[in-house]
Amino acid sequence: MTRKCLIWLCSLSFLVAMNAAAQYSHIKNVINSDHDLSASSTTTGPHAAAGGESETCFFCHAPHQSLNTADTSVTTGPSTQAPLWNHYLSSVTTGVYGVYSSSSFNALSTDIADLGGAVAGSAAVSNLCLSCHDGTVGVNVLYHGQYGKGSPAMVNCGAVGNPAASTSAAVNTPCIAPDAVIIANASTATGTKSLASLHPINFTYNAALAGQTVDLVTPVAQGTYGGSTRLGVPGSGGGFLPLFETVAGSGDFKMQCATCHDVHNGTPNDRPFLRDTTTGSQLCLDCHGA
């Protein structure tokens, strides 16, 4: 191999590595973020925190899914739920969360659907978020638990039926997320969960949809992910806003919570866990700036 070819190959490898790094946050960025519920977290965001548990990852993930028998709140497990999911899933049924509706959005005749009860396909991505953020499941209700001790004690919880209140939860007692981080609007305090007033999710976003508008960006393919083509919208800062396939190989990609939010990205400037900056409304313009 000539010296020129070697230099070219090294340069190409560097660029590929830089591009890959730009697409995803480092998992370690979750430390001290609002998703770090450990007792050692230094975040000042509105979130519940463990009274003595030092682990961060196990609030969502567990490498070994052994049943937590100490906490009677955990009656069924995530079984094969990816990615090594450790958190008890919400049991909210179809027709409860609601869907976005407006004259301009309805004119597109999308296939938007309610997320309630959906635990398979691309909707499962959003359901993982809702298992903490719909206010029905404690953020500490874990399948694995604390090595035989069950679910950890928590502070800064929302009171059951009134998430706006601040309370604590003893060991093996559900800690509801505070109202400030529950989906929808103030009505969540009375138990009504609604996605109707939020940016629409769980609808197919493709070239056909973009073609019906004057400014919607057409999604592009970005290599493969999980054995399937990865489709989404490039972000202004070199990131990528991914769409999620309903069934691998189906070609049907939908916008979900994780299209705009990266749960591991604790960068203060991108709160709440956004994949691009809101400065100059850039996150909006990533999709709406054609």
pLDDT of 110 reads 96
At 161, the pLDDT band (50, 70, 90 cuts) reads: low
pLDDT above 70 for 234:
yes
Share of the chain above pLDDT 90, in %: 42
Report the 3 state secondary structure along the chain. CCHHHHHHHHHHHHHHHHHHHHHCCCHHHHCCCCCCCCCCCCCCCCCCEECCCCCCHHHCECCCCCCCCCCCCCCCCCCCCCCCECECCCCCCCCCCCCCCCHHHHCCCCCCCCCCCCCCCCHHHHHHHHHHHCCCCCCCCECCCCCCCCCCCEEEEEECCEEEEEEEECCCCCCECCHHHCCCCHHHHHCCCCCCCCCCCCEECCHHHHHCCCCCCCCEEEEEECCEEEEEEECCCCCEEECEECCCCCCCEEECHHHHECCCCCCHHHCCCECCCCHHHHHHHHHHCC
pLDDT of 88 reads 87
Mean pLDDT in residue range 192-199: 84
At 186, the pLDDT band (50, 70, 90 cuts) reads: low
pLDDT of 224 reads 61
pLDDT of 6 reads 37
User: Of the ranges 35-39, 136-140, 165-169, which one carries the lowest mean pLDDT score?
Assistant: 165-169
User: Of the ranges 1-15, 96-110, 118-132, 198-212, which one carries the lowest mean pLDDT score?
Assistant: 1-15
Mean pLDDT in residue range 85-99: 87
At 213, the pLDDT band (50, 70, 90 cuts) reads: very high
